[in-house]
A and B are shown apart, each in its own frame.
Chain A
């Protein structure tokens, strides 16, 4: 996985200058990152603004990360969720995943199921996967999907497939594939 140091190196002197302003300035710099760093691809699946936001978060406390997320627009929230697995915060930011999973924005739900979702309890994780199937979010976005999919998730998917079948509606092919895997 990409590290914070790699992102920092790729961003060059501007991020050093921004970090030099101290943690108190992150609340102001974070929302402006798109305008300040642009949206172009930077390195290994990260755009410049996403990378800058990740590095800025590394300068603040978990409480401030939660604050940045709370007042963030969608792009900022997505950047926080993407940065979480890189930050030395343990499981402290799980409430942010839970917030994202309560939304009906497919982008936030998808982002909540990245590598940091390893910290999400199994019950919440199963509900999140089922929510993806329900919302049409491709399951390939779910981190360690086949590894974590247990019998209980299999039973939930089977019941959902039954409901869809009764309504004459299709199941997404990736959900059927996961179900087949659980029933093999």
Chain B
């Protein structure tokens, strides 16, 4: 089994995690820029963080045979701090990088006017840089936050097929499907979504345009919940092709829209010979 975790914060994880992920079949990951447990107080701490996402972290991942890409943005929570806002002017430098495959995580935390402004500005940066957008949906007031995110996406003029709406659940999935965006689900030990609930959603909505991620970070989370979801899918009667679609081909297809996803190293292995996803095959 090959696994692409399209949303994981490796900066917060140890080498033990990389080891276990590699053993579980994780061959590629995307690390979105987000908040840390401790709020930042200025643009310099963002740029050092972004540097890590395009420098040190890909190097760490490569030591375990895992290909690392990133998404870059000012996250919605810190968009509310005027001391952090100047980082918006530095984003174009980072959005030009080979290893950056989307603008993200953008979206809403508390749905403030500052968040409105920064969300829209960054969707416009996605259009300028010809990049897809990765949109976080809020943990509080989620249904309204999801609808409002979809409204902002629509207003921006970005093709919904180039937008990934993440952290969806039973209540918010239908709106995302109707809007034509990609649907992301973060599988967590206790909270956002579990492997079994995910299987139920896949039964109802099918595996098209669905991405499953661990969103593992500095909180209680588990980088192997992608594998656990794959196992739950198989146990529930989905076949290996469905699993490969959700856990590999879908994220590859979504992020390939950046034109920058480079899986040369990880797709060269004998297991996948003649099965290059970049050719669009299955």
Contact = CB atoms under 8 A, between A and B. Distances in A.
Contacts of A105: 55-56, 59
B55 A31 contact: no
A135 interface: no
Give the bracket for the number of chain A residues in contact with chain B: 10 to 19
Contacts of B259: 35
Contacts of A103: 56
Contact of A31 (B56, B58, B97): B97
Nearest to B94: A71
Given A34-B98, A35-B259, A35-B260, A71 B58 contact: no
Contacts of A74: 54-55, 58-59
A141 B58 CA distance: 23
A143 B54 CA distance: 28
Interface in B207-259: 259
Contacts of B59: 74, 105, 107
A32 interface: yes
A28 B128 CA distance: 13
B96 interface: yes
B54 A73 contact: yes
B55 A32 contact: no
Interface residues of B, number: 15
A46 B8 CA distance: 35
Contacts of B47: 71
Residue of A27, A73, A104, A105 ringed by the most chain B CB atoms within 10 A: A73
B199 to A, nearest CB: 38
Interface string B55-84: 110110000000000000000000000000
A68 to B, nearest CB: 10
Interface string B94-138: 101111000000000000000000000000000000000000000
Contacts of A107: 59
Nearest to B50: A71
A181 interface: no
A73 B93 contact: no
Contacts of B94: 71
Contacts of A71: 47, 51, 93-94
A105 B59 CA distance: 7
Contacts of B51: 71
Residue of A28, A32, A75, A103 ringed by the most chain B CB atoms within 10 A: A75
A32 B129 CA distance: 11
Contacts of A75: 98
A176 to B, nearest CB: 25
Nearest to B47: A71
Nearest to B54: A73
A6 B56 CA distance: 33
A106 B94 CA distance: 23
B55 to A, nearest CB: 5
A27 B55 CA distance: 18
Interface in A63-105: 71, 73-75, 77, 103-105
Residue of A31, A77, A103 ringed by the most chain B CB atoms within 10 A: A31
A32 B56 CA distance: 20
A27 B98 contact: no
A32 B54 contact: no
A32 B130 CA distance: 13
A107 B55 CA distance: 11
Contacts of B96: 28, 31-32
Contacts of A77: 55
13 contacts: A31-B97, A32-B96, A34-B98, A35-B259, A73-B54, A73-B55, A73-B99, A74-B55, A74-B58, A77-B55, A103-B56, A104-B56, A105-B55
Interface of B: 47, 51, 54-56, 58-59, 93-94, 96-99, 259-260
Given A73-B97, A105-B56, 13 more contacts: A27-B93, A31-B97, A34-B98, A35-B98, A71-B51, A71-B93, A71-B94, A73-B99, A74-B54, A74-B59, A75-B98, A104-B56, A105-B55
Interface of A: 27-28, 31-32, 34-35, 71, 73-75, 77, 103-105, 107
Interface pairs A-B: 9 shortest CB-CB: A73-B54, A31-B96, A71-B93, A73-B97, A105-B59, A74-B55, A34-B98, A31-B97, A73-B99
